[in-house]
Structure 1
Amino acid sequence: MKVAVHERLQAVGAAAWGALHARSRLRSPFTTWTWQAEWVRVFAQGRRLEVWRVEDGGEPIALLPLHEAERSGWQMLGGADVSDYLDLVAVAGREEEAWAALLGARAASAAPWTLHAVPAASPTVTAMPALAGAFGLAASVDVEERCPVLALPATWEDYLQSLDGKQRHELNRKMRRVAREAPDARPVAVATRADVEARLGDFLDLHRRSRTGKARFMDARMESFFRAVCPALADAGMARIWFLDAPAGPLASFITLEWDGTVGLYNSGFHPDHAALSPGLVLLGHLVRDAIARGKRRFDFLRGEERYKYDFGPSPEDVCRVSIAPAGAPRA
């Protein structure tokens, strides 16, 4: 095994990154070249980067992209504030040997590594404590957040029957109310680069109207990031923007991300003047129905355990923070 460290993403390149991502266990949009490179462009200007590459016989088998945080060593690129899942980008099944090579190469370093947003089922979580000890390092794993995830049945009718009586009644009631009081409202999805570019402004407007906190979140830098990644991911079949459109303008909107039979609910917005109609919840029902119709296996509500998500019947899955440092060092 050979380990090299690069100071720029371009030392790896989009093609090599994409080829490795396609062979990895977690093939989500958050670990794609597009997402990572745009995150660096928007949020990591001036920060030191270390892109650790593991090769076996000249073949890349893993990438660990890190940036230097202000007071806590090194963290994975992507940012836990915008990326719901992050991890080592490695050939599926070779994660543990890749981690062994990385830990051996960094063993003498005193700087801690903090890996945010790692799925609990990842070898980065399950194998790291034992692996780290073999190299004089200590690894700790903490549950950082949870993602409510819905296993999708074969039909919409089966899904409705899986809900408890109250959940089913409330969903049907809200959908009937919109049909009665806003009969011209229709769910619409845009999925091409051109259409996403054309309607992203509508999403951003609804997002900022929804709550004061969302307006603060969607500042100029964040908008620049969204305007770069959403059309590019749509071009790769990994992003859509949904609207509950009405003649007077959209009532609600969601950005969804897609990978490996999964639809992920990434971000949302709704018009507060129509809050009484629960347009977001009604549109969300249409999203679940569409995912089932397209044969998707999972509907992932992504990080955050807001109550409305659990009204759709998902189960929580842990997302972890993995911290790696020399044995005996204080935890970050």
Structure 2
Amino acid sequence: MRVERLSAWGAGGLDETAWNGLLARSATDVPFLTWQWQTAWWEAFGPGPLALFVVRDGETPIGLLPLYGLEAGGRTVLRLVGEEEIWKALLPSLLELRWDLLDLHCLPAASPSLQLLPGLARAWGLAVEVEREERCPVVELPESWEAYLARLSGKDRHELRRKLRRLETRQARTSALTTPAAVAAVLDTFLGLHRKSKAGKARFMDARMEGFFRAVALAFARAGWLALWILWVEGRPAASLLCLDYGSRVSLYNSGFDPEAARLSPGVGLIAASIRDAIGRGRRRYDFLRGEEPYKYGFGAVPADVFAVRLRRR
């Protein structure tokens, strides 16, 4: 087993196929660790320098750790772009770099890094901090839409049905775009609804963020991992969802709606349509991702914790 440090995407024979193949065999196979997401994020936001560690068994990659360095308050911080033997091999190489803080975010409870790294790091004399960072509401999906509705509380089920009936009276229809050409054709609609939703979202969606959204949406569409949902009311777009359809789960990554249609609850109707579609295609989990907005729990979600791990040199 050996550790190699790369400074550019695609170096060392580590291409999209090798990267995603290793990810598919890992315990944390999530869309945000795919080659498509990591490279799109780096192209839009990567502050540099890139430190991409590859653990190999012979010539076969068996572990990856993409990090970038930045200066913060006079300290050098390494952050995740972002099995025990893998970490044992990686730590000595990490300690050869100049850094003050290794800052890892959004680690799920089942992550081997969360379970193994703190103890290994303490053995190397590092100070370790572990904290719950956020909660991600998730819905474990049953076999049918009827079974899903039966799981909701009486109040939530009544409210959902009432809002869906109200949309039906306004000739509401939904469309889910999945091919690169179809996604490209409606991205402007999604971005417009996103910016309309509220002032904070308009500020968030600056030119650089828009470039990232466009790049990652098209990359995921080419891979077959994306559905861009639009809800139309009387022929006009009223709400939109950007859903990542990866493996056995659908993740609601971002959304937007027209405030003029707010009284119709178009977002609720569109989320319900995407959940029903996910159930129909055999997906096992619907993930609302970070943020505990009350509406997410109205769909029967339960919280799943994600954690941060920080290593400091003493």
Contact 1:107 1:135 in 2 (8 A): no
Deviation sequence 1:82-122 (CA, Å, 0-9, x none)? xxxx4xxxxxxxx2111111112223555121111111210
User: Does the Cα contact within 8 Å between 1:119 and 1:318 map onto a contact in 2?
Assistant: yes
Q: 1:40 is matched with which residue?
A: 42
Q: Tell me the SS of whatever aligns to 2:18.
A: helix
Is 1:146 aligned to 2:132, yes or no? no
Q: Structure 2 counterpart of 1:34, which letter?
A: Q
**1:24 alignment partner, SS class:** coil
2:2 aligns with: 2
Post-superposition offset of 1:325:
2.4
Which residue of the partner structure matches residue 59 of structure 1?
A: 60
Contact 1:110 1:325 in 2 (8 A): no
- Structure 2 CA distance for aligned equivalents of residues 228 and 199 of structure 1: 14
1:297 matched to 2:299: no
Q: CA offsets, 1:214-235, max 9 Å, x none?
A: 0011110011111111011011
Read off the aligned partner of 1:277 and give its amino acid letter. Answer: L
138-147 or 199-208, larger mean C-alpha shift: 138-147
The correspondence of residues 67-216 of structure 1 with structure 2, limited to 5 A, is: 67-71=68-72, 72-77=76-81, 86=82, 95-109=83-97, 111=99, 112-180=101-169, 182=170, 184-216=171-203
Measure the CA separation in 2 of the matches of 1:9 and 1:136: 31
Equivalent of residue 232 in structure 1, options 219, 236, 244: 219
Relative to the length of structure 2, the TM-score reads: 0.94
Question: What whole-Å deviation, never above 9, does each CA across 1:54-109 have from its counterpart, x for those lacking one?
Answer: 112221111111111231511011xxxxxxxx4xxxxxxxx211111111222355
Whole-angstrom CA distance in 1 between matches of 2:45 and 2:119? 33
Separation in 2, partners of 1:285, 1:238: 19
Q: Is the 8 A contact 2:27 2:112 kept in 1?
A: no
CA deviations over 1:108-167 (Å, ceiling 9, x no partner): 555121111111210111122211122222322111111101111111111111111111
Report the 3-state secondary structure (helix = DSSP H, G, I; strand = E; otherwise coil) of the residue aligned with 1:251: strand
- Give the partner amino acid of 2:34: T
**What amino acid does structure 1 have at the position aligned with 2:44?**
V
Give distance in 2, aligned partners of 1:243 and 1:262.
Answer: 20
Indicate the SS of the match to 2:278: helix
In the alignment, which residue of structure 1 is the partner of 2:241?
254
CA RMSD of aligned residues (A): 1.4
**Conservation of the 8 A alpha-carbon contact between 2:197 and 2:259:** yes
Unaligned runs of 5+ in 1: 78-85, 87-94
User: Residue 116 of structure 1: SS of its match in structure 2?
Assistant: strand
Q: Distance in 2 between matches of 1:191 and 1:210?
A: 23
What SS does structure 1 have at the residue aligned with 2:71? coil
Give the whole-Å Cα distance in 1 for the aligned partners of 2:96 and 2:40: 31
CA–CA separation in structure 1 for the residues paired with 2:181 and 2:70: 36
Q: 2:79 corresponds to which letter in structure 1?
A: Q
Distance apart, 1:279 and its partner CA: 0.5
